[in-house]
Structure 1
Amino acid sequence: MADTTDAVFKIFIQADIQRVWRELTKTGEAQGAVFNAWLHTRGGLVPGAAMQMQTGTGKHVLVVGEVVACEPPHRFVHTHRFTQHDDPVCQVSYELKPVGSGVEVTLRVIGLPEGTPTAKSMRSGGTMILNSLKAIVETGRPSFGTRLMYWMFDHMEFMLPARTRSEHWPLDK
């Protein structure tokens, strides 16, 4: 079994907790804070429900998991596995805490499999997710650099590995 660690990322967002919660848990539209992926679930955000993060076209599944906890508007936890890697599953936890006129958001990656592509991606991705979340909630859109990256993602989707195609990852499994 691979060694695991936890990674913790924090940020303060000047906004109402409900607005931050909605941005992290919305379905039916792109999650600008989470690489512009679309959250899909089987049965809603309830413990035990299967979930996926898909590309906007729905042709590829980037992440699969299961909802572990959903306690609006304070805590959302799910398992996490990138479909392009054979790495072990880890957990992602978002904790929202009102502080003054804003919200402290803590993103924890629990059981991060050390020395894997998942660990490398999650360590760099955690900061970007929270910075994008802050920008979207406070200004209405992610930074120019992030928007440019998302444009590239949309136009380069054809380069994703075949193993990430949606037909390989049915949501009802």
Structure 2
Amino acid sequence: MTETTTNIHRVTINAPIETVWNTLVKTDEALPFFFGSVCETSDGLKPGARYRMVSANRKVAMVVGDVLRFEPPHVYAHTFTMTNIDEPPVTVTYTLSEKDGGTEFELRIDDLVPGSKLAKEMVSSQGFIAGNLKALCETGRPAFTGRMVGLLGPVFARLAKKSQAVEHWPLVGRDKM
């Protein structure tokens, strides 16, 4: 059995928990803190639902998984597989708690295989996700890094592998990921 690790990143966001939650779980627009991707689901965000994170033009699936927990406005957990990396999925859990007039945001990643490509990508992305979610909730705009990723999104979509096309990652009719 492969040994796995957990990585946790926390940040306090100076916004009400409802604002942070509603921003985190949007499914109708490109999310700068998720690298400009749009969250699509098979049946809404609820336990057992499949989801995929797709490019803004909805042609490339970058991430796929299954919702494990959805407890508004405190916990959202899902499996996470990058479509361009052939490695076992990890589990991502977002936990929100009210703290000091704001919201503590915790991004926890479990089942990381030490030294794997997915582990490196995930751990290096935690600060980007937290920082851009914080900026968006506090100011209405993502941080500079999120704005740049948004501008470069169409270029990244063109560089995706053919195997990442959304038709290869359907939300229904596919065994659990």
TM-score normalized with structure 2 length: 0.94
Number of the residue aligned with 1:61:
61
Distance 1:15 1:119 in 2: 30
- The 1-side partners of 2:145 and 2:82 are apart by 23
Partner Cα separation in structure 2 for residue 40 and residue 113 of structure 1: 27
Instruction: Write the mapping of 1:36-47 to structure 2, written as runs, cut at 5 A.
Output: 36-47=36-47
Q: Secondary structure at the match of 2:154?
A: helix
Q: Distance in 1 between matches of 2:159 and 2:110?
A: 29
Q: What is the CA distance between 1:142 and its match in structure 2? A: 1.2
Give the distance between the partners of 2:2 and 2:34, measured in 1 at CA: 26
Q: Which moved more, 1:148-157 or 1:31-40?
A: 148-157
Q: State the Cα distance separating 1:43 from its structure 2 match.
A: 1.1
Q: Give % identity.
A: 37
Assess if the C-alpha contact under 8 Å between 2:56 and 2:153 holds in 1.
no
Q: Does 1:17 align with 2:17?
A: yes
What count of residue pairs does the alignment treat as equivalent? Answer: 173
Which residue identity is paired with 1:24? L
Cα displacement (A) at 1:145: 3.1
The equivalent residue for 1:120 is 120
Spell out, residue by residue over 1:49-102, the C-alpha distance to the aligned partner (whole angstroms, 9 max, x if none): 111100011110000000000000000000000000111011000000001210
Query: Contact 2:31 / 2:37 at 8 angstroms: preserved in 1?
Result: yes
Letter in 2 for 1:72: P
The one-letter code sitting in structure 2 at the alignment partner of 1:139 is T
State the match for 2:158 in structure 1. 158
**Residue in 2 that maps onto 1:7:** 7
Would you say the 8 A contact 1:11–1:106 is kept in 2?
Answer: yes
TM-score by length of 1: 0.96
The code of the aligned residue for 1:87 comes to E
The 3 A distance-change label for structure 1 pair 107 and 156 is closer
Determine helix, strand or coil for the equivalent of 2:6: strand
How far did 1:149 drift? 2.5
1:112-137 per-residue CA deviation (whole Å, 9 max, x = no partner) reads: 12222110110110111000000000
Matched to 1:63, the amino acid is V
Question: Which whole-Å CA distance do the structure 1 matches of 2:148 and 2:106 have between them?
Answer: 26
Match of 1:101 in 2: 101
- Which residue is equivalent to 2:168? 168
Residues 32 and 146, structure 2, Cα contact 8 Å, conserved in 1: no
**Contact in 2 for aligned 1:39/1:51 (Cα 8 Å):** yes
Distance 2:156 2:108 in 1: 29
State the distance in 1 between where 2:27 and 2:3 align.
Answer: 33
Cα distance in 1 for residues equivalent to 2:31 and 2:50: 18
* Of 49-58 and 108-117, the range deviating more from structure 2: 108-117
Shift of 1:31: 1.4
Q: Equivalents in 1 of 2:116, 2:136: separation in Å?
A: 30
Q: Secondary structure at the match of 1:18?
A: helix
